[in-house]
């Protein structure tokens, strides 16, 4: 599908027309399964203005389902860039009152949130990182009812991708614009299992495999995992007491099943940030703010990165590891089979939503409160005391080599294969 053959203009137009039904089904999938809209409910849709065509499909479908209202928040890379270039850091410390009211009131009214993203991977290169960090912190703390609604299961939400030209050109360099856009649409449909006749059914099936994998891992309650592959990875990582594996569908407090990420392939937890030892070698490049780190390795002792190297981008890797006090420790450990549609595309998407779902990965930086029993009731210090890392950053990197073996070791010392040859060791059906 991603051969080097160039398509003629006619072929691009014909193929694009041919997938228009799939694109409509994708809109239905996002509304009905992703954001899981129910009759009478509000939907908040954020979407790049460049994809107004797709936004209209989503809004139409939401009203077909019976949405009470759809609030559209238009996004644009170039305008965001102009804002960053023309405001100083202080501007971002305060979220405008009307914006707080919009997000908080809609969250309180029980809205579902659909965040469609598609942006230029290089769109923010050179922007003062403090502005981006302060803006995101302000939104998280000042739009509290909105943030808590998402984090504590009061509102359903879904993040999914839509193509925009600058992104398509990055993923498919050297192609004509129309062909690059077509190929990115195809890649999005394929990776979200929306390229067939019944994507909603596919997602029900997909979620059943998540349920099985989570159940297996949670039942074993491993003491630690051991990773080995021929590229040099030879590493053990401890699990916290009471760790919980998550992944697949989310569920609101009132029982609505939704998909926070589409695509999603990972089953993940937060490991014990005080227990990691040995060598981890990368399986795919790491993209960080438009910079690429290739062929890198990290050596851990007692949970901490003590040495590292890279064929390319070592300084970037250093800036990630030394971001703050605990960014040298792990916050996530995620398992992804190599038999997933994302991996099969062989593409680098320059977007974590896709790239982190291509392979088993680890993340340096902060861990997740939902990945330990009682985590939502713990303070940051308590989480840290239980081994759940706390940092202002979270950066995923891929370790899922094709031959990766992962063995889980229980507190009784029993060894259980989890991954063999880069795939789940047990049947996932």
In this complex, which beta carbon is closest to Zn ion, that of residue 12 or of residue 364? Answer: 364
Q: Give the residue with the Cβ less far from Zn ion, 184 or 335.
A: 335
Q: 356, 401, 22: which is closest to 187 by C-alpha?
A: 22
- Binding of residue 103 to Zn ion (CB under 5 A): no
Identify which range of 138-146, 252-260, 296-304, 326-334 contacts Zn ion by CB under 5 A.
326-334
> Least distance from C-beta 40 to Zn ion, angstroms?
34
Q: Which stretch binds Zn ion (CB under 5 A): 171-179, 193-201, 310-318, 328-336?
A: 328-336
Beta carbon of residue 383, minimum distance to Zn ion (angstroms, whole number): 18
Residues of this chain, 349-368, that bind Zn ion according to CB under 5 A: 356
Q: What is the CA radius of gyration of the chain?
A: 21
Contact status, residue 335 vs residue 419, Cβ threshold 8 Å: yes
In whole angstroms, how close is the CB of 396 to Zn ion at the nearest point? 5
Contact 345, 161 (CB under 8 A): no
Residue number, 29 or 334, with CB nearest to Zn ion: 334
Q: What is the footprint of Zn ion within residues 257-316 (CB under 5 A)?
A: 266, 268
The stretch among 36-44, 185-193, 280-288, 331-339 that binds Zn ion (CB under 5 A) is: 331-339
The nearer residue to Zn ion, 182 or 360, going by C-beta atoms, is 360
Nearest approach, Cβ of 217 to Zn ion (angstroms)?
15
Cα separation, 22 vs 17, whole angstroms: 10
Q: Residue 330 CB, nearest distance to Zn ion (Å)?
A: 12
State the residue number with the nearest CB to Zn ion: 334
Range 136-195, binding Zn ion (CB under 5 A): none
Cβ nearer to Zn ion, comparing 45 with 363: 363
CB of 289 to Zn ion, least distance (A): 18
Is the Cβ–Cβ distance between 366 and 387 less than 8 Å? no
| Distance of alpha carbon 215 from alpha carbon 178, whole angstroms | 44
Using CB under 5 A, which of the segments 4-12, 202-210, 219-227, 329-337 binds Zn ion?
329-337
Q: How far is the CB of 80 from Zn ion (least distance, A)?
A: 25
**Helix axis angle, 20-29 relative to 177-191, nearest 10°?**
50
- Give the whole-angstrom CA distance, residue 368 versus residue 418: 22
CA distance 133 to 275: 29
Q: Show contacts with Zn ion in window 115-134 (CB under 5 A).
A: none
* Cβ–Cβ < 8 Å for 401, 358: no
Question: Long-range pairs for 210-216 at CB < 8 Å and ≥24 separation?
Answer: 210/247, 210/248, 210/249, 210/267, 211/248, 212/428, 212/429, 213/245, 213/247, 213/267, 213/335, 213/424, 213/428, 214/245, 214/246, 214/247, 214/248, 214/267, 216/426
What is the SS3 assignment for 151? Answer: helix
Q: Whose Cβ is closer to Zn ion: residue 185's or residue 288's?
A: 288
Binding mask 202-241 for Zn ion (x = CB under 5 A): ----------------------------------------
CB of 394 to Zn ion, least distance (A): 9
Instruction: Report d(CA 126, CA 104) in Å as an integer.
Output: 32
Cα 330 to Cα 395: distance, rounded to the nearest angstrom: 9
What's the min distance (Å) between Cβ of 245 and Zn ion?
12
Choice between 61 and 356, CB closer to Zn ion: 356
Of 45, 244, 334, 409, the residue at the interface with Zn ion (CB under 5 A) is 334
Strands (E), 49-100: 69-75
CB nearer Zn ion, residue 43 or residue 160: 160
Residue 244 to residues 38, 111, 168, 270: CA-CA distances in angstroms?
29, 28, 36, 8
203 burial level (CB within 10 Å; 0-12, 13-18, 19+): buried
What number of chain residues touch Zn ion (CB under 5 A)? Answer: 4
Instruction: Compare residues 31 and 334 and give the one whose CB is closer to Zn ion.
Output: 334
Which among 77, 61, 68 has a CA at the least distance from the CA of 117? 77
Shortest separation between residue 324's beta carbon and Zn ion, angstroms: 20
Return the C-alpha torsion angle 7, 8, 9, 13, nearest 10. Answer: -60
Q: Which is nearer to Zn ion, 32 or 390 (CB)?
A: 390
Residue 77 or residue 266: which is nearer to Zn ion going by CB? 266
Stretch that binds Zn ion, among 2-10, 289-297, 309-317, 330-338 (CB under 5 A): 330-338
Give CA torsion, residues 403, 408, 409, 411, to 10 deg. Answer: 170
Closest separation between CB of residue 343 and Zn ion, Å?
14
Footprint of Zn ion (CB under 5 A):
266, 268, 334, 356
């Amino acid at each position: 599908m991603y051969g080097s053959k160039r398509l003629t203009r006619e072929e691009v137009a014909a193929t694009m027309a041919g997938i228009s039904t799939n694109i409509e089904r994708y809109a239905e999938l996002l509304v009905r399964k992703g954001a899981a809209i129910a009759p009478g409910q509000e939907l908040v849709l954020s979407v790049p203005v460049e994809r107004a065509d797709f936004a209209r499909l989503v809004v139409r479908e939401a009203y077909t389902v019976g949405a009470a209202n759809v609030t559209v928040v238009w996004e644009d890379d170039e305008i965001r860039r102009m804002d960053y270039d023309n405001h100083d850091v202080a501007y971002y410390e305060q979220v405008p009152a009307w914006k707080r009211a919009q997000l908080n009131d809609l969250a309180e009214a029980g809205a579902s949130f659909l965040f469609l993203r598609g942006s230029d991977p290089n769109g923010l290169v050179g922007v003062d990182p403090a502005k981006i960090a302060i803006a995101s912190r302000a939104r998280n703390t000042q739009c509290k009812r909105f943030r808590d609604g998402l984090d504590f299961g009061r509102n359903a939400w879904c993040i999914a991708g839509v193509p925009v030209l600058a992104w398509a050109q990055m993923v498919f360099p050297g192609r004509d614009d129309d062909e690059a856009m077509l190929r990115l649409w195809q890649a999005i449909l394929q990776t979200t299992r929306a390229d067939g006749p019944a994507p909603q059914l596919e997602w029900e099936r997909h979620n059943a495999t998540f349920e099985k994998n989570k159940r297996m891992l949670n039942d074993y309650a491993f003491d630690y995992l051991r990773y080995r592959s021929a590229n040099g990875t030879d590493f053990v990582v401890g699990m916290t007491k009471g760790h919980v594996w998550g992944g697949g569908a989310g569920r609101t407090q009132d029982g609505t099943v939704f998909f926070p990420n589409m695509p999603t392939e990972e089953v993940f937890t937060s490991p014990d940030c005080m227990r990691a030892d040995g060598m981890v070698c990368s399986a795919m490049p790491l993209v960080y703010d438009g910079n690429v780190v290739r062929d890198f390795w990290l050596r851990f002792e007692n949970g901490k990165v003590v040495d590292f190297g890279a064929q390319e981008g070592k300084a970037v890797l250093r800036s990630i590891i030394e971001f703050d006090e605990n960014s040298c420790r792990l916050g996530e450990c995620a398992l992804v089979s190599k038999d997933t549609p994302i991996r099969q595309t062989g593409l680098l998407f320059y977007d974590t939503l896709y790239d982190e779902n291509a392979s088993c990965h680890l993340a340096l930086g902060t861990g997740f409160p939902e990945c330990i029993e009682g985590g939502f009731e713990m303070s940051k210090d308590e989480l840290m005391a239980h081994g759940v890392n706390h940092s202002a950053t979270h950066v995923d990197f891929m370790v899922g080599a094709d031959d990766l073996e992962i063995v889980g070791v229980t507190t009784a010392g029993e060894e259980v294969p989890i991954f063999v040859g880069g795939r789940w060791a047990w049947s996932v059906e």
